[in-house]
Amino acid sequence: MDDGDFSTKSDAFLTWLQQIGTTISSKIQLADLRSRHAGRGVLATADIAEDEELFTVPRSSILTAEASSLPAEIKEQFDDQWLSLMAAMIYEYQRGSDSTWKAYFDVLPASFNTLMFWSEEELECLESSAVVKKIGKSSANESFKAKILPILQQHTDIFKTTGMSDDQLLALCHRMGSTIMAYAFDLEKPGSGSTAPRNEEDGWEEDEEETELLPKGMVPLADMLNADADRNNAKLFYEDDKVVMKSITVIKAGDEVFNDYGPLPTADVLRRYGYTTHNYAKCDVVEISLDLIKQMAAEGVKLKGPDLGERTSYLDEHGILEDGYDISHASSDPESPQFPDELCILLNTLLLPKADFDKMKQNDKLQKPALILESVRLLYTIIVRRRAEYTFNALDDGFNSLQLNAAPIDISSASHRQKQARLVVAGEKKVLQEAAAALQKMLLGTGDGNKKRKAPTDTFEEEAKAVRAQRSNGEHPSKKTKH
Ligand SMILES: C[S@@+](CC[C@H](N)C(=O)[O-])C[C@H]1O[C@@H](n2cnc3c(N)ncnc32)[C@H](O)[C@@H]1O
């Protein structure tokens, strides 16, 4: 989009906002932040005090399934918040100038940088980050084909989709679905404050339990706010007939007004919103799959299949078993421990002598989450193996030596998406290194740890490198793993 077109659309959007009764403080402005890869955003043009009203938007102009003029008999065919909003958006978008929201659609994106739109080759740059499995492109396609396309095809006159191929309809679904994922709010009841847009957890159809019942809607202007981890300085409040964006801290003239998309790992910010900044690194996680844990328990502790199965079934009955466990950075918050309690309970249970496991089962008890020494050792070997699933190269070393929040090393020759992927991968390697260091410390405390004089991170990286080299030589890594 050339500059003229971009600013013409912004101006038309602002005029429309005025017409629908939006009030906007003279201390903010809608800005062109394309030079920062941030599209439009809102900037403070004067100092703003805490708790100042920045703008208000009438509830009647929020684009929801209910507010859309899509005929009721079609709305009724959708039993899901996401899909009904998608259908309403497709309908309103296709109406062009006949839609109340035309000027709004004109400032919403037509293309996205979210992972759904990355090529296979680009996704490979994310290496073994678990985020790749969370994109859900094929399940989204299936859902669109089964639940939306037939309705669009049946009512081509209403949706103005005559002559559009299945691929074009699917592309339209993806466009609206991706817009909802990155822009929609969970519309709370009057009297509450919300930090949306942050309404989706693991795919296109699933909602977080607490937001499941809240209607979803597109809130013009409120969704022009960008976010950057905990730099949020504004928040949306819900009143009876309007929503109000207010400052929640002092905002200096020239500063960007930020919303809060939630404490997301860099990988999820990229998956859902298509951007990265260094500030999400503190939320980075690495998923350790149950399959890897089971494999390592079978190899390292020689747990036989039936025994392993009995223990995992027992933990499943007690809600401890998951497909994967996220390890994070060390934190002083007991709510988000570096190694989740469920993972620790799983490991402790897998390592119990058979008689002790039988007794625990008889008493219908669970292990405590504090890692026993054998679990620390097993977890260390698992972390080594997980690290070996990522590459080792000079570029990583550059990233790895960085402090969180530091500026990236110069990789200006790489494409923007490659750089974004590197940031995700480097962040996840850092999580693994910290986890290894924490486990080594626990082992050292028992006199059982690394007795060499090298820095713990070096030995960890070397062990993982060796595992990766064995694997690429076709050898079985367990034969040479040290712990
Ligand atoms: C709710 S919209 C915010 C308005 C958006 N910038 C626009 O021009 O329409 C969310 C999208 O804004 C962009 N975004 C948000 N925060 C950003 C940031 N800190 N840096 C770069 N892009 C950001 C991403 O493209 C994201 O999907």
ipTM: 1.00
Q: Which of 275, 276, 278 to mutate to test the pocket of ligand 1 (most atoms within 8 A of CB)?
A: 275
Nearest CA to ligand 1 atom 17: 226
Residues carrying CATH 3.90.1420.10, the chain: 285-479
Q: Is the CB of 477 under 6 A from ligand 1?
A: no
Q: Is the CB of 223 under 6 A from ligand 1?
A: yes
Q: Is the CB of 258 under 6 A from ligand 1?
A: no
Q: Is the CB of 256 under 6 A from ligand 1?
A: no
pLDDT 10s per residue in the chain (483 long)? 666 699 999 999 999 999 999 999 999 999 999 998 899 999 999 999 999 999 999 999 999 999 999 999 999 999 888 999 999 999 999 999 999 999 999 999 999 999 999 999 999 999 999 999 999 999 999 999 999 999 999 999 999 999 999 999 999 999 999 999 999 999 988 766 655 454 444 333 334 455 557 889 999 999 999 999 999 999 999 999 999 999 999 999 999 999 999 999 999 999 999 999 999 999 999 999 999 999 999 987 777 777 899 999 999 999 999 999 999 999 878 888 999 999 999 999 999 999 999 999 999 999 999 999 999 999 999 999 999 999 997 665 555 444 433 444 444 456 999 999 999 999 999 999 999 999 999 998 766 655 555 667 779 999 999 999 998 887 776 654 444
Cα-to-centroid distance, 277 and ligand 1 (Å)? 11
Instruction: Please give the angle made by the CA atoms of 30, 273 and 126, to the nearest 5 degrees.
Output: 140
Nearest CA to ligand 1 atom 12: 226
Cα-to-centroid distance, 151 and ligand 1 (Å)? 31
CATH-assigned architecture of domain 285-479:
Alpha-Beta Complex (3.90)
CATH-assigned architecture of domain 3-262:
Alpha-Beta Complex (3.90)
Round to whole Å and give the CA distance between 141 and 173. Answer: 9
Cα-to-centroid distance, 432 and ligand 1 (Å)? 29
Round to whole Å and give the CA distance between 126 and 426. Answer: 10
Cα-to-centroid distance, 267 and ligand 1 (Å)? 15
Residues carrying CATH 3.90.1410.10, the chain: 3-262
The predicted pLDDT at position 405 comes to 38
| Contacts for 291 with CB less than 8 Å, ≥ 6 apart | none
The predicted pLDDT at position 301 comes to 77
Q: Which of 114, 226, 259 to mutate to test the pocket of ligand 1 (most atoms within 8 A of CB)?
A: 226
The predicted pLDDT at position 473 comes to 82
Q: Which residues are bridge partners to 194 per DSSP?
A: 236
